[in-house]
Amino acid sequence: MLGQEKDTVAFLRAYKSSLTDIQTYVSQLYAKYSTDGVLSLNDMYLKTRYSDMEKEINNIVKSLGNKEKDYFKSELTKTYEKSYISTGTILTEGIPKLAINFNKIPTGFVNTALTYPWSGDSYSNRIWKNKEALISNLKQTLTRGFINGSSISNMTKDLKGVLDGSATACRKLIRTEAMHCIGASHNDTYKAAGVKRVKFITAEDDRVCKICNGIANSSKNPFLIEDAPMIPIHANSRSISIPYFED
């Protein structure tokens, strides 16, 4: 397993504890207000029960979102720095006259790579959009459960399904954002090393998509470094840019 995947698996425990918090709260609602194991929507609409529940869900998800932002920031910084230094080492070995200390990452590089809205949105906005979707899915699941007279055990199971789906989205997002940081670090080291052009290359198998194939076969490839396509081209893309030397 890649380092980043391992870190993400560890981070995803935060989803498990948010799920536990939500399940505990809902169990308490059932314990207090259900009749014969059934908690109806009418029961929940009494007094401020429903709006209290909404507040509780919002708080739990918001705190999860904050943890996720912190995790992304530290993980993406680590990914960028590691990739910058290792790519710099390869370049220095390949171009002996290159007198650049790649172990010292210029101020601002990491932040620029992290905050660049390469996919049309920043990662922190995407995290927050995913959290809004999570809140809305949780409320839908709870409301539907109240309407259908779900038992607490079915409700618990359905809530787990919602959190699992959200955790999968988080895993996919960090993977794609990490790919972007690696791509950005490559371009930054290439530029620092004076590389003028980069060649866009695909995995060259039958899984290569039309978009990547189109870019690879473009007459502009190898691209001027300032026109280089932003990596990754899309989620789960395996295409990369490598330095291109004309001689």
CB of 202 to Zn ion, least distance (A): 7
Q: How far is the CB of 233 from Zn ion (least distance, A)?
A: 5
The residue whose Cβ lies closest to Zn ion is 212
- CB 119, min distance to Zn ion, A: 14
Closer residue to Zn ion (CB): 142 or 212: 212
| Spatial distance between the Cα atoms of 142 and 158, rounded to a whole number of angstroms | 9
Nearest distance in Å: CB 240, Zn ion: 11
Q: Tell me the three state secondary structure of residue 243.
A: strand
Closest CA to 230 of 193, 194, 198: 198
Q: Does 237 bind Zn ion (CB under 5 A)?
A: yes
Residue 118 in contact with residue 177, Cβ under 8 Å? no
Which two tokens mark 117? 């809205």
Those residues with Cβ within 8 angstroms of residue 215's Cβ, 6 or more apart along the chain or in another chain: 200, 221, 229, 233, 239
Residues 6+ apart with CB under 8 A from 217: none
What is the Cα Rg of the chain in Å?
Answer: 24
At 12, is the secondary structure helix, strand, or coil?
coil
Considering only 98, 100, 209, 225, the residue that binds Zn ion (CB under 5 A) is 209
> Which is nearer to Zn ion, 41 or 208 (by Cβ)?
208
If the CB atoms of residues 169 and 211 are measured against Zn ion, the closer one turns out to be: 211
Question: Quick check: 176 binds Zn ion (CB under 5 A)?
Answer: no
Interface region with Zn ion, contact rule CB under 5 A, candidates 25-33, 154-162, 206-214, 223-231 = 206-214
Q: Which is nearer to Zn ion, 145 or 232 (CB)?
A: 232
Q: How far apart are CA 178 and CA 114, in angstroms?
A: 9
Closest approach of Zn ion to the CB of residue 116, in Å = 20
Q: Given the complex with Zn ion, which of 41 and 209 has the nearer CB atom? A: 209
- Asked if residue 241 binds Zn ion (CB under 5 A), the reply is no
Name the residues that contact Zn ion, by CB under 5 A.
209, 212, 237
